[in-house]
Structure 1
Amino acid sequence: MSKKMKMLQILNLWRLIPAYLIVCASNNKAIIFEEIQHWKKCTRRTEKARFDIFSSLMLELKEYRTLLQYRLGGGVQQIIAKNVVSRYGYPVYQYS
């Protein structure tokens, strides 16, 4: 993980940790974690830790954030996810 990505991860921990906990508590967590590995291969990520892969996908790819919202389904989890996992991103999310 590059220094820039690590800094973005630290600045966004307040968003990443709740999102990761929602994923861990989700009924679809097995599918989501399989998809994380698939996205890792597709985007040629070098991170080893699952949270680091999740973080980099969340920070860089709005497509992944949208997919994650879809996978979390309806109900309370989706309401929380919409507030934590933004499809549109914020300035701190953007990585160039």
Structure 2
Amino acid sequence: FLGWAGFSPLEETSEIALRWCFSKDARARHSDLTLKVSRELIDWFFENTYFSHIVVPVRTDDRSARSTVQDLGFVYRESRRIEDMPCDLFQLLSPSLRSYLVSA
């Protein structure tokens, strides 16, 4: 078992969040596992849903997760408590919304 990845509703913001949890062993064996799985999930999400964006909450002290979400193209949106932890919330707009904003 390597871990899990998927989507869940984020109660604090009423948005859909991308989440993952991979074992240290899995990440050591496959250093790009989180990026590869997340990219596939993000592509699937925007191709199969109507949502304009997706979010990822990152604990403020988790430098590794922060780096990963930024590598995936997420941008910082705000800081807030999520699941009773201080977190930074990162957001990724759908490809259609991104192209609309660029052309506007």
TM-score (norm 1): 0.27
Query: Relative to total residues, which structure has the larger strand share, 1 or 2?
Result: 2
Query: Relative to total residues, which structure has the larger helix share, 1 or 2?
Result: 1
Higher relative contact order (CA 8 A, sep 6+): 1
TM-score (norm 2): 0.26
Highest Rg: 1 or 2? 2
